[in-house]
Structure 1
Amino acid sequence: MPVTRPVIAVAGLGIESSTFSPARTEAPAFHPQRGADVLARYPFLAPGRPLRTAADWHGTLVGKALPGGTVTASAYAALSAELIDRLKESGPVDGLWYDIHGAMTVEGVEDAEAELLARIRETVGPDVIVSASMDLHGNVSRALVHLTDLITCYRTAPHEDVTQTKERAARNLVEHLASGAPRPVKAWIPVPVLLAGEQTSTRIEPARSVYAAVEEVAAADGVTDAAIWVGYAWADEPRNRAAVVVTGPDEAAVTTGAERLARGFWAARHDFAFVAPTGTLDDCLDAALAATARPYFVSDTGDNPTAGGAGDVTWGLRQVLARPEFQDPSGPTVLYASLPGPAAVDTAVRAGVGATVTVTAGAEVDDRHSGPLTMTGVVHAVRHGDRDAETEAVLRVGGVYVILTRLRKPYHHEHDFTDLELNPRTADVVIVKIGYLEPELFAMAADWKMALTPGGVDQDLPRLGHHRIRRPMFPFDPAMPAPDLTARVIPSPDRPLGAPEE
């Protein structure tokens, strides 16, 4: 029976958790929102918007953390227990929108997102329709597909369609409930490929064409949605791999579309390449100094905080400060973002702008590659109140402007620099702990290279030491035989899952 004005709950926890980082993620890092604050996260659920008026939406708990280390058992226990309690308090629901990332690793928990959804299903019942929205760098196990009815993910990397994806997941749910149709058919295909996001960016081929096919399949008659997940490369679990899911009312259309997408991804595996030229950090700095294009961006990739790096690896900054070209204040201007160091920030704040200070920062979490770094420089700027960093201080060391933070922070926007009295457009070199450049930085960069540096999200995947992923897996087993890419039709949550996952 169609539901004319369905009751829909919104819930989810999201993070990318690198199991190769020694960092641990605690509950406050998720910045959990509750009740009406959950609905305020989404512009398409603003009062008066069509989706808002089409259903009675109940925010329970949604928390999203910066990518980081494994989530502690205590943090997960507290957040998930509160989420379940709030679901119970909200009363019966017709649908649930499960807003997650898909790469959360929790101490002592296998397949955390599926485990949480199983607990949610115990609360709301097997007949409630669940629509999940995910990051394309999430992981999609057979169990997760079984527990959902509709599931989708971003179609761009960098992710320029975050809001559109979440809105699509919510709209698909509302439309399905209004239709009264039987539960969707779900075709799932695991693809034994595990690559970094920087090798599968939709800015370039082959990912551009691979993902263009997603929209074509999703637009076919009998299909509700289609998605390809690249998977998350910096965790070591059996579910870490690429996957395809297509959902819709027509089994033939859904399975045909899923197999087309899986074959396309597999066929392109040898063609995936880094989205920018790569090299050692010294190679990249040499290229930046030799170039005339300004500003020249260098990605310090191994400690990228938005891929799960601890953010406080000092190896890259130590190499930069050791370069004689950067030790003269009248030489090239270099911006470096960033390095956590709470004590260093406190010293800079007490001394004030213009003071010369000696501080030590970094390697409090990840000291495997380089120890704490001591620097003497002039305090250039101080800023309080950032959501992630809390407090930031800029220290000028020779010609290098080092951004120090109380807590780790990603630097993706121009205002992240200009708020600190730094102008990246007039700098000679901008070094950012990041992988592929986010849209604002990409548009600003006159040229760009990715430095293959050490850290918890090292781009050289084979040297990280995966031992729990399912083998064979490309590129770990380059000569592996062709896999079975036939569609697996996954039963609805009100039916048994059956055989164990492949």
Structure 2
Amino acid sequence: MTLRIGIAGIAIESSTFSPHRAGLADFDVRRGDRLLERYEFLGKDWAQGIEWVPLVHARSLPGGAVLPEVYDDLSAEIITRLEAAGQLDGFFFDIHGAMSVVGRQDAEADLATRIRSVLGPDVLVSASMDLHGNVSRELGTAVDLITCYRMAPHEDAMESRERALRNLVERVRSGKGKPGKAWVQVPVLLPGEKTSTRLEPAKSIYRRVAEIADEPGVLDAAVWVGYAWADEPRCRAAVVVTGDDHELITTRAAELARAYWDARDNFEFVAPTGTLAECVEAGLASSARPFLISDSGDNPTAGGAGDTSWTLGQLLTVEELAAGKATAIHASIADPDAVAACVAAGVGNEVHLTAGGKVDSGPAGPVALSGTVFSLSEDPVGGTVAVVKAGGLHSILTSRRKPYHHLADFTLLGLNPATTDLVIVKIGYLEPELYNLAADWLLALTPGGVDQDLLRLGHHGVLRPLYPFDPAMPAPTLTPELLP
């Protein structure tokens, strides 16, 4: 008998501290064959003999909270298509886990619960998530299998989705039914830049996750860091171990939760940190080239608005850069009006404009930028992209929000980061290509919607006590719960 498995989801990481609002234009919405194209692993042997039923999947670059009407329309389409899909044997719920919707809480649990109400209690549902997602009791109850990435940076993102679907298929084919789910939240909320799996203690914790997942009686194991830049009760670390040996999965979930809690004081930033001024001074004084600096407070891949201008304003005052004695690249500021001014001026001509600070004006308003239009280009993500050269500083301006993670992101603009003194990127931990490029790097603690200094953001909706907001809090019980 051919199995029928549905696929749907809405995936975005949403900072509630960012004034950006995610609209429909921010999402890549796919249906039918275009949806299935996201999953190259569906061509593998284990995925044969299955009728995949693609409903609708919407994925966005991280940003601010989703407009409620956008969430309502997308979720309603998922439910409508699911109701019309006929009998399914399984369902793959492909989400991020940190979607916030304006005026709502726990959006993924809401959608999962609605999907469950259509599917009924017996159809197996498998969820794949980012490790920076959140797992509330409601979400954990609404799905049957749930997993997340084991690497940060997320080099195993597609591998994790494949694991979630493969486990679902094998479970349905075996006829074993629903596995047990040992779930426990850990009252710790840390930024991703402190929990990279490149470093201890996360490296050992996630190595242990993989070991536990391979034990007889265990189907899968996962540890979520949680999402630090949303202000909801669900935002905290979580552990789920699934399998048929209920005693074992409960024991292993408690072990992982205790390991995470015990390590809470040992998590450190993935690179040495400092103020922007300290990082720039150190970079200019260093002989390491290129020297990379993470402009972490407005990281668009963590939910930043992408137009915070504070760092650009500071860089324009650095004497060595202004005089052209040193070279630097700043990536980037989303500002369609500034880009339009560059297009009107043309390559090689002077331009006088204001950049950034129009969406997220908290740290700084629009910054005056005068220089020469170095290049203009078109980008499938960033739209029209302009580079303005002011002294030794090349400022990248985009008409749409865009992360800069790859060497080609720079070289296609006529820039060579390998021969530049300082490369300042709106990012947290460096993605692989930038990590390999950097002769040295620092993480600048800059302001913005994803400020690494959580204590100055003003959380009030998270459940307390919670580390690091309450460093002297008593030790939690950390007793896993077997979810229905």
Q: Which residue of 2 aligns with 1:349?
A: 343
**Aligned: 1:265 with 2:245:** no
For 1:64 and 1:315, how far apart are their aligned partners in 2?
29
Query: Secondary structure of 1:425's partner?
Result: helix
Q: Which residue of 2 aligns with 1:252?
A: 247
**Aligned: 1:285 with 2:272:** no
Which of the numbers 108, 112, 121 marks the counterpart of 1:113? 108
Query: Secondary structure of 1:448's partner?
Result: strand
Q: Which residue of 2 aligns with 1:410?
A: 403
Q: Superposed, which structure 2 residues align to 1:12-411 within 5 Å? A: 12-46=9-43, 49-329=44-324, 331-384=325-378, 386-411=379-404
For 1:251 and 1:357, how far apart are their aligned partners in 2?
67
- Alpha-carbon deviation of 1:375? 1.0
Q: Is the 8 A contact 1:95 1:128 kept in 2?
A: yes
Q: CA RMSD in A?
A: 0.9
For 1:191 and 1:256, how far apart are their aligned partners in 2?
15
The 10-residue stretch of structure 1 (281-290 or 356-365) with the greater mean CA deviation from structure 2:
356-365
* Percent of paired sites with the same residue: 57
Per-residue CA distance 1:208-241 (angstroms, 9 max, x = gap): 0111110111011100000000000000000000
Q: Is the 8 A contact 2:331 2:425 kept in 1?
A: yes
Query: Secondary structure of 2:315's partner?
Result: helix
**Aligned: 1:434 with 2:427:** yes
For 2:92 and 2:349, how far apart are their aligned partners in 1?
52
- Alpha-carbon deviation of 1:249? 1.2
- Alpha-carbon deviation of 1:108? 2.4
Q: Is the 8 A contact 1:304 1:435 kept in 2?
A: yes
- Alpha-carbon deviation of 1:184? 0.4
**Aligned: 1:9 with 2:3:** no
For 2:197 and 2:240, how far apart are their aligned partners in 1?
19
- Alpha-carbon deviation of 1:51? 3.7
Structure 1 stretches lacking a partner, 5+ long:
492-502
1:325 counterpart letter in structure 2: E
Per-residue CA distance 1:147-204 (angstroms, 9 max, x = gap): 0100000001111101110000010000000000031000001100000000011111
Which of the numbers 468, 489, 493 marks the counterpart of 2:482? 489
Query: Secondary structure of 2:182's partner?
Result: strand
For 1:17 and 1:388, how far apart are their aligned partners in 2?
18
2:163 counterpart letter in structure 1: R
2:242 counterpart letter in structure 1: T
Per-residue CA distance 1:383-423 (angstroms, 9 max, x = gap): 11x23211101010110000000011100001000110101
Per-residue CA distance 1:119-145 (angstroms, 9 max, x = gap): 111222221100000000000000101
- TM-score, normalized by length of structure 2? 0.99
For 2:442 and 2:331, how far apart are their aligned partners in 1?
16
1:482 counterpart letter in structure 2: A
For 2:364 and 2:376, how far apart are their aligned partners in 1?
26
Which of the numbers 463, 466, 479 marks the counterpart of 1:470? 463
- Alpha-carbon deviation of 1:306? 0.6
Query: Secondary structure of 2:218's partner?
Result: coil
Q: How many residues of Structure 1 are paired with residues of Structure 2 in the alignment?
A: 484
Query: Secondary structure of 1:152's partner?
Result: strand
For 1:427 and 1:177, how far apart are their aligned partners in 2?
54
For 2:80 and 2:358, how far apart are their aligned partners in 1?
36
Q: Which residue of 2 aligns with 1:423?
A: 416
Q: Is the 8 A contact 1:44 1:51 kept in 2?
A: no
Q: Is the 8 A contact 2:47 2:166 kept in 1?
A: no
For 1:14 and 1:83, how far apart are their aligned partners in 2?
13
For 1:194 and 1:118, how far apart are their aligned partners in 2?
25
For 1:139 and 1:366, how far apart are their aligned partners in 2?
25
